[in-house]
Structure 1
Amino acid sequence: MLVVGGGTVGLLTTALLTHHGVPAALVERRSGPSVHPRATGIAPRTVEVLRELGLDDAVDAAAVDLRGAAGKAVARTVVEMGAGEVKAVPMAEPPAGELDTTPFRLRGVCAQDRVDAVVAADLARRGVDLRWSTRLTGITQDADGVDVELDGPGGRYSLRCAHVVAADGTHSTVRTKLGVGTSGAGDLGKSMINILFRADLRPHLRGRSFGMCTITHPAARGLLATVDGQTDWVFHVECDLDGGERPEDFTPERCTAVVRAAVGDPGLDVEIRSVLPWRPRSVLADRFAVGRVFLVGDAAHAISPMGAFGLNTGVADAHNLAWKLAAVHHGEAGPELLDTYAQEREPVAAATMDQAMRRRADPALHWGRGPEADAARVAAGVWASPVVHLGQRYDSAAIVDPQPELPSTMDLATVLDGSPGSRVPHAWVDGVSTLDLVASRWTLLAGPAGDSWLTAAAEVGLPAHRVSAPWLPDEGALLVRPDAIVALRATNPVPDAARFLTDVLDRVLAKPVAVP
């Protein structure tokens, strides 16, 4: 397998393929993982994927502890914020019921470059083939494989792969060469300049902390976001193209002046580490799969940043695709299983883009707190953020009797009810989460009186566990896929349960029917 693109989604795609026992190589045009944070919102579902890979503790250690901090603040300058002249929305505390929906949460925000560093280091330790400073220049395919042309430190060469996963960003080279178009709103608003800088703001903050702060100073309007909460920060400012301003006008000297104005300290010691032009976009690829090539992350969908859905949606793409590629690679599934990647992920990506755009139209729908804000979200068709991240459901041939429609509720615990196509509910079983019990394998969860299901699972060779939970009938069972998605819900025992489970697995894995 070849993964094109060394951002977070590409790195995690490679990690997941390796985790499932698939030899994979990664190519990336940059010389290493990006040092520039592009996102800081790591959603619970992404944390669950990191936990599955055994990387959750390392990422949590790299996260900034923002418990008790302001999630979103507004101030004229950092100096005035420290003096108390600030409007702040507290960091959102999940409702008590929501805390019971996932086994682990990061203690705060973790900038994307920090996640990348953790994943890349783990891949390097495992001896995974990481080809930095390497560009893809050509791609063709036939019924049996994909041929790619690469240009790396040793010159140009070709490589033949079973499949290719394109995680090469919004302006994907792979997508372009395959002739896949896009639809959607396209570019949104003005071009932005993302200034990564190092400066000790602690004396000015006077003990205050925040995730993001809108700076309103006339000479430096923008959004200041924390990287480590102390000395590393990013500042997003607009680039006025209509006024003749260009991204290249933001020299280190200009950026230093802008940062000093935003902080309110003309003598601030500032180190400009990186300057990255970018523009919010909202586009969806017309196809997520072309033959043996699959698009994930921004190559498949660019999502408006309001809501922090973009990165996390890309990680969900990788999580959905990796086990399917592994099942086909290992001969455990028919190639038609790979068709379910696009069947499942395209509708979810489209729904997520819609949710981000609704928030962009009125940011209060995202940041608002309390009953009035909840009522406004319902009226505007805006789902609660946890539902967007964790509650969406799949509808494909890899699920038996899927139930893709979400309940009309803002309560994630109600949405995660064990329905086929949904993420299996989290519950503790002897101190272990049901998500951890799945452990990247097909798994059966049986109700308290589901002895026949446990016996059948043993005959078939499925890991099985007894679970007592309101979403699992006493004599029922859930068959859970390696990506923790419920593939089957049975409410009662069935005759010859072992044969039944075998038939279901053959069906959802698209195994060829044996001919006598």
Structure 2
Amino acid sequence: MRAKIDERVPVLIAGGSLVGLSTSLFLSRLGVRHLVVERHAGTSVHPRGRGNNVRTMELFRTAGAEPLIREAASVLSGNHGILQVGTLTGGPQEWLFREIDPGGGLARFSPSGWCLCSQNDLEPVLLRYARDLGGEVRFGTELVDFEQDAAGVTAVVRDRSNGRLRTVRADYLVAADGPRSPVRERLGIAQQGPGDLFHNVSITFRAKRMADAVGDRRFIVCYLTDPEGEGALLPVDNEADWVFHAPWHPDRGETLEDFTDERCIRHIRAAAGIPDMEVEITGRAPWHAAERVAERYGAGRVFLAGDSAHEMSPTGAFGSNTGIQDAHNLAWKLAAVLGGWAGPALLDSYQAERRPVAVATSARASARSAEHQHPGYDVTPGAGRRGNVLGVVLGYRYTEGALTGADPEQPALPERFRPDGEPGTRAPHLWCYRYGTRLSTLDLFERSMVLLSGPAGHIWHAAGAAAAEETEVPLDRYLVGDGPEHNLAPEPGADWCELYGTERDGAVLVRPDGFVAWRARSAGADPRRELEEALRSVLALG
């Protein structure tokens, strides 16, 4: 290891793809200086990882990036549902589901919605916004070595354009370096799970007549079942540019080189049902669907996030969304510890919270691939278990970690989504007014702890000021009600107490990531002491 330290940063991030850039954005919003190193020359050029679920969009909303992302995603804003056909011009046709949010019922639960934005369109938005906020991202630079001690991590990075080495000293290292993570391997962290599920080759191509075959069916993805054209078709612009996922069987001796232009064109023509369709192959890339979760989410001052921590079947886009949510969970904790208002042990809660969610979500993703009979996934028909997707997306919960009062018997993923304000769950969305401005309760959660007190919760509101001063924890306080003394007014007809599970004199403590950390259903005998104890417990303060 090189002895001379060339630069120092609080956080070093290895990997500048979707999860690494999300980590950069979230840390930038929290004012944490950091450096991202990414071995590739720039952001992704391949249209993949397009499904951003409602929880992910809530996080981007809070970070101020949602409008920019929706603008980048506008070309696919009218695409919905998953279609299954023999070929595009013949054979049986079935919509596995037609609408992501039929009837618009999601608006009851969230101020955001699903967004179809391919990784090659999303990453530039995250990069630009993170840099505008002060994030430093270096492409063409790779992490080649690191070692840690009790005080930090010393890493060596290499500029791939000239081979020059630099030594970076960081307080913490975040590894967002993909499913074959060199950092995870260096730490000796094993993975658990069934392993590889199936393999595909992702083919990008241009074909103007494909739009004629598709017609007015604006799908997210179309599964083709005809043996000669089996695969999955995804629109890029609904006109000339498309992606086709073709089954690949390396276990049968197939190599990537076997997917010649001629073979790919023949396969795509068969899928479309147009034998003479003009097709231009513009790229191909292998990808592997797997179900694996790291046994540990890090060691010491090094943390795994995204694909380095978990691999999931692509059906439902659970993997990329889980990775972005990893980044958000870790970012506020790093900011709190580096900012001095949480103890270092708070970072232990990252694994305690995120790993059970990944284990349960990866199993649900595999089941969904079986349910949809994803091309290339050879499983018994009907092996998939139909689950409530909203329970996965918004209902995942933490039963241990940076919280107090959670029910340890509850599963990480519920069978049904029911927002109730319990500790360990995402704080429910409620439209409110603050000084005449309409906002969601979710908009309150980002940079500090937040205390929400019911209409008669004045005692908690006052106790919060004293507890914050005693613990030196940044704590925003809102007294919820429609009287002149209240500073957060629910929309007419809304009942905050019912939604958050308290009496009129109750209160909840919400973390910067929008998860309920503690709840008092009603006024306590010593509210200041209760709040101080809750803050110290949640934030690992001595």
Offset, 1:253:
4.3
Report the TM-score when normalising by structure 2.
Answer: 0.85
Distance, in Å, in 2 between the alignment partners of 1:50 and 1:489 is 26
| Structure 2 residue corresponding to 1:466, chosen from 479, 483, 498 | 479
| Structure 2 residue corresponding to 1:424, chosen from 416, 422, 427 | 427
For the pair 1:134 / 2:134, whether they are aligned, the reply is: no
For the pair 1:116 / 2:126, whether they are aligned, the reply is: no
Distance, in Å, in 2 between the alignment partners of 1:157 and 1:260 is 50
The count of aligned residue pairs is 493
What is residue 399 of structure 2 aligned with on the other side? 395
State how 1:66-145 maps to structure 2 within 5 Å.
71-80=81-90, 86-89=93-96, 90-94=98-102, 98-106=106-114, 108-145=115-152
For the pair 1:484 / 2:514, whether they are aligned, the reply is: yes
State how 1:267-346 maps to structure 2 within 5 Å.
267-346=276-355
In the alignment, is the contact (CA less than 8 A) between 1:38 and 1:113 conserved in 2? yes
Cα distance 1:302–1:479, how it changes in 2: closer, same or farther (>3 A)? Answer: same
Distance, in Å, in 2 between the alignment partners of 1:388 and 1:214 is 23
What is residue 229 of structure 1 aligned with on the other side? 238
2:522 is paired with a residue whose SS is coil
In the alignment, is the contact (CA less than 8 A) between 1:355 and 1:382 conserved in 2? no
Distance, in Å, in 1 between the alignment partners of 2:78 and 2:308 is 36
Offset, 1:70:
5.3
What is residue 8 of structure 1 aligned with on the other side? 18
2:52 is paired with a residue whose SS is coil
What is residue 459 of structure 2 aligned with on the other side? 452
What is residue 372 of structure 1 aligned with on the other side? none
In the alignment, is the contact (CA less than 8 A) between 2:392 and 2:414 conserved in 1? no
Cα distance 1:170–1:488, how it changes in 2: closer, same or farther (>3 A)? Answer: same
Residues 488-509 of structure 1: per-residue CA shift (max 9 Å, x gap):
1101112443343233212211
Offset, 1:385:
1.0
Offset, 1:226:
2.0
Cα distance 1:315–1:69, how it changes in 2: closer, same or farther (>3 A)? Answer: closer
| Structure 1 residue corresponding to 2:57, chosen from 24, 31, 47 | 47
In the alignment, is the contact (CA less than 8 A) between 1:70 and 1:88 conserved in 2? no
* Superposed CA RMSD: 2.5
Distance, in Å, in 1 between the alignment partners of 2:104 and 2:439 is 20
What is residue 198 of structure 1 aligned with on the other side? 206
What is residue 389 of structure 2 aligned with on the other side? 385
One-letter code aligned to 1:47: M
In the alignment, is the contact (CA less than 8 A) between 2:399 and 2:406 conserved in 1? yes
Offset, 1:148:
1.4
In the alignment, is the contact (CA less than 8 A) between 1:146 and 1:163 conserved in 2? yes
Offset, 1:382:
5.2
Cα distance 1:271–1:408, how it changes in 2: closer, same or farther (>3 A)? Answer: closer
One-letter code aligned to 1:103: P
Structure 2 unmatched runs, 5+: 1-10, 375-381, 469-473, 481-494
What is residue 37 of structure 2 aligned with on the other side? 27
Distance, in Å, in 1 between the alignment partners of 2:294 and 2:29 is 28
1:188 is paired with a residue whose SS is strand
Cα distance 1:462–1:127, how it changes in 2: closer, same or farther (>3 A)? Answer: closer
| Structure 2 residue corresponding to 1:177, chosen from 169, 175, 186 | 186
Distance, in Å, in 2 between the alignment partners of 1:169 and 1:487 is 31
Distance, in Å, in 1 between the alignment partners of 2:425 and 2:270 is 48
Offset, 1:284:
1.0
Report the TM-score when normalising by structure 1.
Answer: 0.89
Distance, in Å, in 2 between the alignment partners of 1:31 and 1:494 is 57
Offset, 1:110:
1.6
2:509 is paired with a residue whose SS is strand
What is residue 240 of structure 1 aligned with on the other side? 249
Residues 68-101 of structure 1: per-residue CA shift (max 9 Å, x gap):
75512123333449xxx63323123356654311
Structure 1 unmatched runs, 5+: 366-375
Offset, 1:475:
0.7
Distance, in Å, in 1 between the alignment partners of 2:250 and 2:241 is 28
In the alignment, is the contact (CA less than 8 A) between 1:285 and 1:301 conserved in 2? yes
What is residue 59 of structure 1 aligned with on the other side? 69
Cα distance 1:206–1:392, how it changes in 2: closer, same or farther (>3 A)? Answer: closer
Distance, in Å, in 2 between the alignment partners of 1:281 and 1:165 is 22
Cα distance 1:98–1:159, how it changes in 2: closer, same or farther (>3 A)? Answer: same
Offset, 1:452:
1.5
Cα distance 1:269–1:466, how it changes in 2: closer, same or farther (>3 A)? Answer: farther
Offset, 1:215:
1.9
Offset, 1:444:
1.0
Bigger Cα displacement from structure 2, 21-30 vs 394-403: 394-403
In the alignment, is the contact (CA less than 8 A) between 1:64 and 1:227 conserved in 2? no
Cα distance 1:362–1:262, how it changes in 2: closer, same or farther (>3 A)? Answer: closer
| Structure 2 residue corresponding to 1:503, chosen from 533, 537, 540 | 533
2:81 is paired with a residue whose SS is strand
2:250 is paired with a residue whose SS is coil
Distance, in Å, in 1 between the alignment partners of 2:75 and 2:43 is 23
In the alignment, is the contact (CA less than 8 A) between 1:383 and 1:410 conserved in 2? yes
2:183 is paired with a residue whose SS is helix
In the alignment, is the contact (CA less than 8 A) between 1:440 and 1:484 conserved in 2? no
Distance, in Å, in 2 between the alignment partners of 1:4 and 1:409 is 33
One-letter code aligned to 1:233: W
1:511 is paired with a residue whose SS is coil
Distance, in Å, in 2 between the alignment partners of 1:5 and 1:409 is 32
In the alignment, is the contact (CA less than 8 A) between 1:64 and 1:229 conserved in 2? no
Distance, in Å, in 2 between the alignment partners of 1:116 and 1:267 is 36
Bigger Cα displacement from structure 2, 18-27 vs 125-134: 125-134
For the pair 1:440 / 2:453, whether they are aligned, the reply is: no
For the pair 1:37 / 2:47, whether they are aligned, the reply is: yes
What is residue 6 of structure 2 aligned with on the other side? none
Residues 294-315 of structure 1: per-residue CA shift (max 9 Å, x gap):
0011100111223321111111
